[in-house]
Amino acid sequence: MKVYINGKFYEKNEAKISVFDHGLLYGDGVFEGIRAYGRLVFKLKEHVERLYESAHSIMLKIPMSKDEMAKAVVQTLKTNHLNDAYIRLVVTRGEGDLGLDPRKCIGHAAVIIITDRITLYPEKFYKQGLEIITVPTVRNLPEALNPQIKSLNYLNNILAKIEAVNSGYNEAIMLDSLGYVAECTGDNIFLVKRKHLYTPPQCMGSLRGITRDAVLEIARKSDVPVHEHVVTRHEVYISDECFLTGTAAEIIPVVKVDGRVIGEGRPGKITLALIKKFKELTKREGVRY
Ligand code: PXG
C-alpha cells in the first residue's frame, strides 16, 4: 500500500508525520472519506468541496487547489491499482509547538491520502438490518463545534460509539441538544412513513452527508416525497422503515431502535429500492481513473 503525503508516495510503514503536528496534538485538521466503485470515484467533486469548506471554516489553508487535490486522489488510486476503494483524505494544521496557537504551525499543512478497503458493519446486517440504540452523548452544538465541519476531532462521535458498543450495539442515534434526532456516529438517518421519506435537516446538528444528498436525489427522481424535517425518537419508533447512510456504511437498513421493532422488523421495500438505485448510481457515475 502506497500512502500519499504532500506530493510523494510512501510505503505504509514509512508514511509518517511529525509528533508536533497539531492534527495529532489537538485534532486540528479536517478530513474526508470517499469511495471508488469499479474505477469510478463517487462524488469526488462534492467531497473535495466539503473538505475545503471545513478547512475554510477553521482557517486552515490547504496548500493546493481543489483540482490538484482531486488529481492527487486519482493518482493515489492509480498508484495502488485498486478497482474498489475507501479513500481517506486528511489535512492537518501542520507542525507547531506544544501550545494551541495555530500561528505557531509554521510548516505546511500535511495532506495525506490513504486508500484501503473497509466494511463498516458485518455483512449480515446489510441483509437483515441493524439494531441500534440512542446514547446519552448528544451531538456537538453547532454554536460550539459545528458538525458540518468534518474535523479531525471526532471524540464526540467516538464517545457515542463507545456507549453503543458497551451496550452491545454496533451503532447509536445521537440527539441534538434539544433532544431531536441528529444522526448516528458516522451516518445520517432516514425514516419512511406512509411512503414518505424523512431525514433531519442539516442545520440541526448533523453533517450534511454526501450519501444523504445522493439518496434524497434518487428518492425525488423516483417520486418518493422527501422531507428534511426535525425528527423525534417517537417518530423513529413508529416509522415503517428506517435506514442509515454514509460513505463508509453506504445504505444499511435498521430494524430495531431502543428495543422497538421498526415496521415489520425487516428491511423495508422503499429502503431496498433505494439501495438498488444507489448501487446502480455508483456503477455509472463518478470520476474515472
Ligand atoms: N455523519 C457523520 C458524523 C459522519 O462522520 C456521515 C454522517 C455521512 O456522510 P457522507 O458524506 O459520508 O455520506 C459521516 C461520514 C466511520 C466513519 O468509521 C464514518 C464517517 C467518516 C469517517 C469514519 O464510521 N462518516
What pLDDT score does 65 carry? 97
Among 188, 202, 243, 250, which residue has the most ligand 1 atoms within 8 Å of its CB, making it the best to mutate? 188
Q: What is the CATH number of the domain that holds 65?
A: 3.30.470.10
User: 187 C-alpha to center of ligand 1: Å?
Assistant: 5
Tell me: do 169 and 235 sit in the same domain.
Answer: yes
Tell me: do 143 and 271 sit in the same domain.
Answer: yes
CA distance 76 to 22: 24
**Residues within 6 Å of ligand 1 by CB:** 33, 120, 157, 183, 186-188, 207, 209-212, 245-248
Q: Which of 116, 147, 165 is the last residue of a domain?
A: 116
Q: Which of 67, 95, 116 is the last residue of a domain?
A: 116
Give the confidence band of 202 by pLDDT, cuts at 50, 70, 90: confident
What pLDDT score does 212 carry? 98
Q: Is residue 240 part of a domain?
A: yes
Tell me: do 111 and 140 sit in the same domain.
Answer: no
What pLDDT score does 47 carry? 98
Q: Is residue 63 part of a domain?
A: yes
CA distance 189 to 160: 15
Q: Is residue 232 part of a domain?
A: yes
Q: Which of 116, 143, 164 is the last residue of a domain?
A: 116
What pLDDT score does 108 carry? 79
Number of domains in the chain: 2
Tell me: do 206 and 264 sit in the same domain.
Answer: yes
Give the confidence band of 130 by pLDDT, cuts at 50, 70, 90: very high
Closest to 115 in 3D by CA, of 35, 193, 28: 35
Tell me: do 143 and 45 sit in the same domain.
Answer: no
DSSP summary character for residue 265: S
Extended beta strands in the chain, E state:
2-5, 8-11, 29-37, 40-41, 85-92, 111-116, 130-134, 172-175, 181-184, 188-193, 196-199, 226-228, 241-246, 250-257, 260-261, 287-288
Q: Is residue 288 part of a domain?
A: no
Q: Is residue 57 part of a domain?
A: yes
Tell me: do 112 and 132 sit in the same domain.
Answer: no
Tell me: do 88 and 135 sit in the same domain.
Answer: no
What pLDDT score does 106 carry? 83
Q: Is the pLDDT of residue 107 over 90?
A: no
User: 210 C-alpha to center of ligand 1: Å?
Assistant: 9
Candidate from 85-99, 104-118, 183-197, 230-244 with smallest mean pLDDT: 104-118
Ligand 1 atom nearest to 157, measured from its CA: 3
Q: Is residue 287 part of a domain?
A: no
Q: What mean pLDDT is predicted for residues 190-197?
A: 98
Structural domain including 46 reads 2-116
User: 246 C-alpha to center of ligand 1: Å?
Assistant: 5
Mean pLDDT of the chain: 96
**Which protein residue's CA is at the shortest distance from atom 9 of ligand 1?**
209
- Catalytic residue numbers read 150
Among 50, 215, 244, 247, which residue has the most ligand 1 atoms within 8 Å of its CB, making it the best to mutate? 247
Q: Which residues contact 275 (CB under 8 A, 6 or more apart)?
A: 243, 250, 251, 253
Q: What is the CATH number of the domain that holds 228?
A: 3.20.10.10
Tell me: do 150 and 104 sit in the same domain.
Answer: no
Q: Could you give the percent of the chain with pLDDT greater than 70?
A: 100
Give the confidence band of 48 by pLDDT, cuts at 50, 70, 90: very high
Q: What mean pLDDT is predicted for residues 33-40?
A: 97
Q: Which residues contact 87 (CB under 8 A, 6 or more apart)?
A: 32, 33, 34, 35, 36, 41, 73, 76, 77, 113, 114, 115
Q: Which residues contact 217 (CB under 8 A, 6 or more apart)?
A: none
**Which protein residue's CA is at the shortest distance from atom 18 of ligand 1?**
186
pTM to 2 decimal places: 0.97
What pLDDT score does 203 carry? 80
Tell me: do 78 and 169 sit in the same domain.
Answer: no
Q: Is residue 289 part of a domain?
A: no
Q: Is the pLDDT of residue 204 over 80?
A: no
Tell me: do 218 and 260 sit in the same domain.
Answer: yes
